[in-house]
Amino acid sequence: MPVDFEVKNHVAYVVINRPDAMNSLDPASIESLDRIWQEVKDNPNIRVSVLTGAGPKAFCTGSDMKNSPTPKECMAAIYLRDGQPILPRMKMWKPIIAAINGYAVGGGLEIALGCDMRIASANAKFGLTEVKVASLAGLNGTQMLPRALPHAVAMKMLLTGDMISADEALRYGLVSDVVDQSSLIDTACVYAEKIARAAPLSVQAAKQAAILGRDMPLEHGILFGHLMWGILRDTEDRKEGFKAFAEKRDPQWQGA
């Protein structure tokens, strides 16, 4: 299979499994990812996901230029349907953690930018190199990279196609952690399991408040955050959380 998928303890593990092709995306892997992200979104047993690539060399290097046929549809049909594949399916309030092992280039970096947390191995490299092949980072790169990095750094990457190292990515705030290759997945699992143990509705509300509030004036964002708190106030999980705390036991979340 071009993409491996497993669910364990409320965590979905998604692995792009094309190491011989630097985990680039051919039509079969794109189809698999679309199907998997829909399952993650719809399955109430899944609370958080970890996305990575197989092998030590690459997280994902974007489109497989050797095995990507010319689209049969016109650009208008593709654009008006829902834009490019994969990223629309990743739009959900359940968190996604990118465990970046090696190259995150082109569409691979754009997919990582679509995740909520990014953890990198020490050998990771990041770049949007499309200008070198007369193309464009058309998934989300021209918009997300300047929002994730200092503007001057993002523009240097977009206009030259140059890559940055894991240490630079950490310094600029593109990733939260840089770890040895051998401990990358374990580190991602630790974060994922912490999130999975938290109340699922609260986690999703926190993500929604942060994402939507980012585009609001500060006072509007604060009001929206208070509204989200009010929505959670009368849930069964909040009652269970307070009760479990008083009884000094682990809460049993229902997602309701």
pLDDT, tens digit (0-9, with 9 covering 90-100), for 148-197: 999 999 999 999 999 999 999 999 999 999 999 999 999 999 999 999 99
pLDDT greater than 90 at residue 202:
yes
Q: Give residue 67's pLDDT.
A: 74
Q: Please tell me the least confidently modeled range out of 79-88, 196-205, 213-222.
A: 79-88
Q: Give residue 177's pLDDT.
A: 98
Q: Give residue 81's pLDDT.
A: 67
What class is the 3-197 domain?
A: alpha beta
CATH number (2.40.480, 1.10.12, 2.60.40, 1.10.10) of 200-247 reads: 1.10.12
For the chain, give every residue range classified as CATH 3.90.226.10: 3-197
**Active-site annotation holder among 6, 130, 168, 193:** 130
Q: Give residue 14's pLDDT.
A: 98
Q: Which residue, among 30, 39, 31, 32, has the nearest Cα to 4 in the 3D structure?
A: 32
Question: Does residue 236 have an active-site annotation?
Answer: no
pLDDT, tens digit (0-9, with 9 covering 90-100), for 91-147: 999 999 999 999 999 999 999 999 999 999 999 999 999 999 999 998 999 999 999
**Active-site annotation holder among 6, 110, 193, 247:** 110
pLDDT greater than 90 at residue 70:
no
pLDDT greater than 90 at residue 218:
yes
For the chain, give every residue range classified as CATH 1.10.12: 200-247
Q: Which residue, among 60, 69, 65, has the nearest Cα to 19 in the 3D structure?
A: 60
Mean pLDDT of the chain: 94
For residues 245 and 154, give the distance between their C-alpha atoms in angstroms, rounded to a whole number: 45
pTM exceeds 0.85, yes or no: yes
By DSSP bridging, strand 3-8 and strand 177-179 are unpaired
DSSP code of 17? -
Question: Does residue 168 have an active-site annotation?
Answer: no
pLDDT greater than 80 at residue 77:
no
